[in-house]
Chains A and B, each alone.
Chain A
Amino acid sequence: MTAVLFGSLVFFFLLNVPIAVSIGLASLAAILWSGTIPPVVLVQKMFTATDSFPLMAVPFFILAGSLMEFGGISRRLVNFANSVVGRFSGGLAFVAIIASMFFGAISGAAAACVAAIGTILIPAMVRRGYDTPYATAVQATAGTLGVMIPPSIPMIIYGVLTGVSIGALFMGGILPGFLVGGSLMFVAWLIARKKGYKGDEKASGAKIWATFKDAILALLMPVIILGGIYGGVFTPTEAAVVAVIYGFIVGLFVYRELSLSKLKDILVNTSVSTAMIMFIIATSSVFSWILTAQRVPQAVASAILSFSTNPIVILTLINLLLLFIGTFMETVASIIILVPVLLPVVTQIGVDPLHFGIIIVVNLAIGMVTPPLGVCLFVGCGISGITLEAISKAVWPFILSMIFAVLLLTYIPWISIALPRLAGIY
């Protein structure tokens, strides 16, 4: 039955059947093959997977991010970042990375981050004489910070699956996010220096202050979200809805760039993006239910542990697996299918579940920029109009620096665990 499950899954994937439907069909095939499981389980599991309050943070964070984007907030973040770091060589690349970190602290998705910041910065970089593939690669990789810096949709899903506190996961993602952001900036700077991309003139203190004042309402948003969660005031879902209301008020009444006609499009598009993630969650939950019922996680665990019980060896193997899967698979589906299988393995060798969650999210984030398939690459190429081949060459140095960062945070659990421990929430 497990063979039917995985065999049909690979078959449907290769034929380009939509991921959610592939996973659903594979589960259905296994159910029909077994002959003992009533097919009504399919509908029942799909319903109970989506009937979840914590998962409601997903639509709210998507909505908050898109209200910010259309409400004129991303442009203000870019201006502020530019006045601070625009002076260095390759300055605009720094701006792209830092603005993505700010935006990542509002939105929980990587592709949204590339779209929001990249539509402003990729053309700006090209105008300043940066190579288009370089500019696109910087922005595509910077966008992955959106899922590391809290809030983060993959972390919400990991938390719901494993019972690890979503608030603690969010806080655990902060240092890894800075680590990845820092290594991206280092590579961007090296290349910019070699190619001779000059920075802007140094901005005056008054200019920095002016752009800061202009961006203050945007910069306050992460403070409200994170402060609310860690102050014990809100659950992550409630913090997300407060962010939505805040973004709505700021965009509509303060910056006045949001119109009611835009609002309908924003609401519909948010619903569809949410539905596509939730539909994958729905069918994957049937899939992982069958996996668990067939005791596949235990079988995989004993197979791996009979091979080696050295945490470094096992984590290295899991990193390779995650990088490989992340290259070809969509993030949410990867998390739902892999976590129940891999978590029993790593907890047996003493890896902390929160630490493991961060490892998974960062690895799969790398998968979003690895050619030939990567959602951030597609969005980036869509903005700059270059081909996948052109960006594939330019993106490699950045991917290598991210792999370096992921190795560091795999072998040094402190990077992920220190902040939640310090805050006393984990």
Chain B
Amino acid sequence: MLFCRKMLDRANALAEYAVCGFLAVMVVVVFLQVIFRFVIRSSLPWSEELARYIMVWITFLGASIGVKRKSHIGVEAVVTLLPERLRSWAAVFVHAVSCIFFAYMVIYGRAILRVVGFQLSPAMEISMAIPYSAVFAGGVLMFLHAFFQMFEQMFHAVSGRMVKNT
């Protein structure tokens, strides 16, 4: 348990560095696009495409950090009416169904790579598997975080305590 937590923390720290770097690069690339158009008066052919693919990566990696931080918002109005014990089990259920969705992202995120892997992007002419694999990578991280959180929550539900939702 402790080992899993440590590994997940480390993976998450890496994801944080990655999105931080990606966002910085995205800002620079789009800013260069503006500069090139106004100052040098010729437009960059690859800047928009590169920035878009970076954003796809930021979306799915960032969403995995959101799962780790439990900061994806839900509708809390009804579960707060449940008695504490039941609410605790409802939280286990939430993690379980989230895992199902993330598992589909992983399976089909991988399946689609075989289809798009042969296509080249219009401007940079890189394999479309590079941007598309963001769905797969983010899916894997989200699945792992949610799976671990499910066990953690289950442990606490059995022992009758709530894991603080922060």
Interface string of A328-372 (1 = CB under 8 A from B): 111000000000000000000000000000000000000000001
Contacts of B62 in A (CB 8 A): 271-272, 274-276, 278-279
Interface string of A4-40 (1 = CB under 8 A from B): 0000000011111111111011001000000000011
> Does B1 lie at the interface of the complex (its beta carbon under 8 Å from any beta carbon of A)?
no
Query: Which among A28, A237, A274 is the interface contact of B30 at CB below 8 angstroms?
Result: A237
> Does B123 lie at the interface of the complex (its beta carbon under 8 Å from any beta carbon of A)?
no
Contacts of B24 in A (CB 8 A): 267
Enumerate B84-118 residues with CB–CB distance to A below 8 Å.
90-91, 93-94, 97-98, 100-101, 104-105, 108-109, 111-112, 115
Known contacts A21-B101, A63-B23, A245-B31; is-contact A282 B55 (Cβ 8 Å): no
Alpha-carbon separation in the docked complex, A21 to B61 (Å): 15
Known contacts A19-B72, A50-B56, A267-B19; is-contact A275 B30 (Cβ 8 Å): no
Contact B111 A16 (CB under 8 A): no
Known contacts A21-B98, A272-B69; is-contact A16 B90 (Cβ 8 Å): yes
Chain B proximity of A204: nearest CB distance (Å): 41
Interface string of A49-62 (1 = CB under 8 A from B): 01111011001100
Of all chain B residues, the one with the shortest Cβ separation from A267 is B20
Which of B3-11, B74-82, B154-162 sits within the interface? B74-82
Contact B112 A19 (CB under 8 A): no
Alpha-carbon separation in the docked complex, A372 to B62 (Å): 28
Alpha-carbon separation in the docked complex, A357 to B55 (Å): 25
Contacts of A59 in B (CB 8 A): 23, 26, 55, 58
> Does B34 lie at the interface of the complex (its beta carbon under 8 Å from any beta carbon of A)?
yes
Compute the total of residue contacts between A and B using a CB distance below 8 Å: 178
Query: Which among A53, A63, A372 is the interface contact of B52 at CB below 8 angstroms?
Result: A53
Known contacts A276-B73, A279-B66; is-contact A18 B31 (Cβ 8 Å): no
> Does A244 lie at the interface of the complex (its beta carbon under 8 Å from any beta carbon of B)?
yes
Contacts of B109 in A (CB 8 A): 43
Contact B79 A15 (CB under 8 A): yes
Contact A272 B71 (CB under 8 A): yes
Contact B34 A241 (CB under 8 A): yes
Contact A47 B135 (CB under 8 A): yes
Contacts of B61 in A (CB 8 A): 271, 275
Contacts of A244 in B (CB 8 A): 27, 31
> Does A292 lie at the interface of the complex (its beta carbon under 8 Å from any beta carbon of B)?
no
> Does B140 lie at the interface of the complex (its beta carbon under 8 Å from any beta carbon of A)?
no
Chain A proximity of B51: nearest CB distance (Å): 6
Contact B63 A56 (CB under 8 A): no
Contact B56 A271 (CB under 8 A): no
Query: Which among B33, B53, B73 is the interface contact of A18 at CB below 8 angstroms?
Result: B73
> Does A46 lie at the interface of the complex (its beta carbon under 8 Å from any beta carbon of B)?
yes
Contact A51 B71 (CB under 8 A): no
Query: Which among B63, B78, B97, B131 is the interface contact of A47 at CB below 8 angstroms?
Result: B131
Of all chain B residues, the one with the shortest Cβ separation from A27 is B101
Contact A271 B112 (CB under 8 A): no
Contact A21 B55 (CB under 8 A): no
Contacts of B71 in A (CB 8 A): 272, 276
Alpha-carbon separation in the docked complex, A21 to B98 (Å): 6
Alpha-carbon separation in the docked complex, A52 to B93 (Å): 34
Contacts of B22 in A (CB 8 A): 271
Alpha-carbon separation in the docked complex, A17 to B51 (Å): 31
Chain B proximity of A396: nearest CB distance (Å): 18
Enumerate A51-108 residues with CB–CB distance to B below 8 Å.
51-53, 55-56, 59-60, 63
